[in-house]
Amino acid sequence: MSTNEPTPALAAGSQTAGGGSRFTPDFRVGLGYDIHRTGNPLQGARAMVLGGVAIQGAPAIIAHSDGDALCHAVTDAILGALALPDIGQLFPDTDPKYRGADSRTFLEAAVAKAASMGYRVVNVDATVILERPKLSPQKEAVRASLAGMLGVEASRVNVKGKTHETLDALGRGEGVEVHAVVLMMRG
Ligand SMILES: [Zn+2]
């Protein structure tokens, strides 16, 4: 192929000579973020769950639902990609029915909503910022759990564990923070 020829991918999304679109790939990217404080289990903090997996040796989390920051961030990324109301609007933490809720239901609801609009997940990349414990021993379990909820192979889901290098509140172990990016595709 000469350098002047378009790649097949670009050609597929290009305009025809008459100006009409032959095929426009419909991709949507979404960004999700969540943070939860750690706290004392004797004062109502809950065992830390990330992506539906209980994290061994992690501090307890203060939250209205189960406080699964990874599920919440990925849910918001999906909803954001499709310009839908966010997780706080759909599942308000002022509603008693979501007290202690299993956040997998939020993520599965977002995936179902996306499917009803014709969209599916292409891939997810997430970063979990947690001072301790190291996420690595449970990373594959978290990844597999997330992939199952998203209805994709684990190879389409990435979960990276980072510390906050002892800096600020996260660095003192006072919370867990998650950033997530999702790519959605129609069809
Ligand atoms: Zn949350």
Q: Report pLDDT for 1.
A: 43
Q: Is residue 15 part of a domain?
A: no
Amino acid at 55: I
Q: What percent of the chain has pLDDT over 70?
A: 88
| CA 139, 142, 146, 152 torsion-angle sign | positive
CATH of the domain at 138: 3.30.1330.50
Tokens representing residue 44 in the block: 């109502």
pLDDT at 15 over 80: no
Q: Report pLDDT for 160.
A: 98
CA 36 to ligand 1 center in whole angstroms: 6
pLDDT at 90 over 90: yes
Q: Report pLDDT for 187.
A: 87
Q: What percent of the chain has pLDDT over 90?
A: 85
CA 47 to ligand 1 center in whole angstroms: 14
pLDDT at 183 over 80: yes
Q: Is residue 16 part of a domain?
A: no
CA 187 to ligand 1 center in whole angstroms: 30
CA 135 to ligand 1 center in whole angstroms: 18
CA 67 to ligand 1 center in whole angstroms: 5
Q: Is residue 5 part of a domain?
A: no
CA 34 to ligand 1 center in whole angstroms: 5
Q: Report pLDDT for 24.
A: 77
pLDDT grade for 126, boundaries at 50, 70 and 90: very high
Q: Is residue 17 part of a domain?
A: no
CA 101 to ligand 1 center in whole angstroms: 11
The torsion defined by the Cα of 47, 48, 53 and 54, in degrees rounded to 10, comes to -40
Number of domains in the chain: 1
Tokens representing residue 84 in the block: 């839908």
pLDDT mean over 162-180: 97
Q: Report pLDDT for 60.
A: 98
Q: Report pLDDT for 2.
A: 46
pLDDT at 102 over 70: yes
27 DSSP assignment: E
pLDDT at 12 over 70: no
For residue 175, the number of C-alpha atoms closer than 13 Å in the C-beta half-sphere is 12
Q: Report pLDDT for 70.
A: 98
Q: Is residue 7 part of a domain?
A: no
Q: Is residue 157 part of a domain?
A: yes
pLDDT mean over 45-61: 97
Domain span at 94: 25-186
pLDDT grade for 13, boundaries at 50, 70 and 90: very low
CA 4 to ligand 1 center in whole angstroms: 49
Q: Is residue 31 part of a domain?
A: yes
Which one has a higher pLDDT value, 73 or 11? 73
CA 137 to ligand 1 center in whole angstroms: 23
pLDDT mean over 75-87: 97
Q: Is residue 130 part of a domain?
A: yes
Kindly report the backbone phi and psi dihedral angles of residue 104, in degrees, each rounded to the nearest multiple of 5, phi listed first.
-60, -30
